[in-house]
Amino acid sequence: MAVQITDANFEANVLKSSIPVLIDFWAPWCGPCRAMGPVIDELAAEYDGKVLIAKMNVDENPATPSKYAIRAIPTLILFKGGEVVEQITGAVSKSSIKDMIAQKALG
């Protein structure tokens, strides 16, 4: 399962993480976000210990999405060493996400 990230724990769990972090910015009312949910959970299992796969509900946590100028959801942001290294907006395939992780996080 993907880890739930909030505005309160964002710095500790994402910016100070010793491994890369992929966050799925989503909301319960967003159809494409709900469709991506199972894919995000599968990735969390596949990358356990190598990449932290997380989700952030934009309705419950407005500060972080605002800071990173999230204008549409779902948006995936990959952090490495506390810095944004890649961002994808919209529903994308699992293989596209895996390619991004391989190139930007583990490469």
pLDDT tens sequence across 6-61: 999 999 999 999 999 999 999 999 999 999 999 999 999 999 999 999 999 999 99
pLDDT at 107 over 90: no
CA atoms 92, 18, 62, 70: torsion sign: negative
Residue with tokens 């969390």: 44
For the CA atoms of 9, 93, 75, 58, the dihedral, rounded to the nearest 10 degrees, stands at: -60
Give catalytic residue positions.
30, 33
Give the pTM: 0.96
Residue among 86, 76, 91 at smallest CA distance from 106: 86
